[in-house]
């Protein structure tokens, strides 16, 4: 669908007024780069690279027949951002003597305790299936094998447990 600015862009492009086009789209390009790079200091560099790439393509005689210039700008912006992420060094050395921090398991303990307390009032069958599924991370087939149940019985126990949890949480809310 044509945009209101497409005719202006085409006229300036045909007249060779690339400075006008770059000035028009620079804020859009910068905003996309900042959003995609999450405010990273490199966003300004990537936006500058987009502008330079558009300028170089114009000087090479690239005309983008049939495409509105705004589409070209967004495509070149996407390619340049992708190039930025592809070019990240992968062989950077870590500082001498650096050791990763040990994982903090406090959040996991709190989460497991909270989930365990939430499951405690459930009937034994549903509670056991939910514990194996969510606290132990077991798959449905593994639970069925461990408890000597069919897969369908495990699915039903999960469904009953979810329904009971939903009802308990709805009453508390």
What is the distance between the alpha carbons of residues 140 and 132, in angstroms, rounded to a whole number?
A: 9
Residue 81 sits in the same domain as residue 25: yes
Statement: the pTM of the whole predicted model exceeds 0.75: no
- Residue 14, judged by CB atoms within 10 A of its CB (0-12, 13-18, 19+), counts as exposed
Would 162 be classed as within a structural domain?
Answer: yes
Would 94 be classed as within a structural domain?
Answer: no
Residue 82 sits in the same domain as residue 123: no
Among 86, 104, 132, the domain boundary falls at 86
Range of the domain at 29: 6-86
pLDDT tens, 12-63?
Answer: 888 888 888 889 989 999 888 888 887 777 888 888 988 898 888 888 887 7
pLDDT tens, 130-142?
Answer: 889 888 889 999 9
Would 95 be classed as within a structural domain?
Answer: no
């Amino acid at each position: 669908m044509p945009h209101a600015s497409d005719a202006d862009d085409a006229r300036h492009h045909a007249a060779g007024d690339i400075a006008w086009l770059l000035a028009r789209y620079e804020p859009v390009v910068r905003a996309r780069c900042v959003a995609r790079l999450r405010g990273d200091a490199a966003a300004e560099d990537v936006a500058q690279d987009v502008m330079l790439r558009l300028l170089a393509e114009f000087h090479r005689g690239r005309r983008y027949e049939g495409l509105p210039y705004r589409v070209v700008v967004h495509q070149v912006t996407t390619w340049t951002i992708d190039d930025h992420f592809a070019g990240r060094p992968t062989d950077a050395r870590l500082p001498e003597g650096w050791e990763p921090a040990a994982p903090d398991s406090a959040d996991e303990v709190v989460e497991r305790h909270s989930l365990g307390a939430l499951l405690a009032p459930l009937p034994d069958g549903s509670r056991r299936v939910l514990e194996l599924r969510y606290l132990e991370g077991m798959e449905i087939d593994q639970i069925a094998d461990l408890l000597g149940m069919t897969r369908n019985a495990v699915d039903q126990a999960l469904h009953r447990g979810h329904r009971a949890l939903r009802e308990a949480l709805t009453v508390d809310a």
